[in-house]
Amino acid sequence: MITTAPENPVLRVAPAAPAEAAAHFRASLAFHTDVSDVAAALAGDGDPGFVLVDTRSTESWDQGHVPGAVHLPTALVPEQAGRLLDRSVPVVTYCWGPGCNGAARAALALAELGYQVKEMLGGFEYWAREGFAYETWQGPARREADPLTAPVRGECGC
């Protein structure tokens, strides 16, 4: 009886050629950033070079948002972006977390209006889970970092 090894589900579709993979990942980084990088940029001295936009509802904003963020719900982007944002300053959008595409929809709307834009992966959920300070309608707040999201001094080390 001849047996063969089961098909490897990871390699069922072969990886792309290195040059193709590099182009893909370079392009991906042009559209996304992460919570730790945003936190580091905001913690630095001076202008971070972008404006952070919370695209969630007023109720979610009041529950907690990143300090210094601009509140612009996704549905209001077309009518309010011009009043709240400078087209010469790049925008980073965020919503609740990985299970929400509000930041991607807001980023699309902003790009269609002529803004340079990236999405902050992880959203407010991972901002809070990584232990970064946030603001609520009651004032400043902070949670202990989740060791699964921020295992080393509040950052993943990558």
Q: Are 55 and 95 in contact (CB under 8 A)?
A: yes
pLDDT score of 137: 95
Q: Are 105 and 113 in contact (CB under 8 A)?
A: no
Q: Which of 9-18, 49-58, 63-72, 126-135 has the lowest mean pLDDT?
A: 9-18
| CB proximity list for 125: less than 8 A, separation 6 or greater | 96, 97, 98
Average of pLDDT values for 88-96?
A: 98
Average of pLDDT values for 38-51?
A: 94
Domain ranges of the chain: 29-141
* Residue 8 banded pLDDT, cuts 50, 70, 90: confident
pLDDT score of 24: 96
pLDDT at 47 over 70: yes
Superfamily (CATH) of domain 29-141: Rhodanese-like domain (3.40.250.10)
What is the model's pTM? Answer: 0.88
Q: Are 94 and 127 in contact (CB under 8 A)?
A: yes
pLDDT at 140 over 90: yes
pLDDT score of 7: 82
Query: What's the DSSP call for residue 148?
Result: T
pLDDT score of 1: 57
Q: Give pLDDT tens digits for 95-139.
A: 999 999 999 999 999 999 999 999 999 999 999 999 999 999 999
Average of pLDDT values for 57-75?
A: 97
Burial 59-82 (b: 16+ CB within 10 A, else e): ebbebbbbeebbbbbbeebeeebe
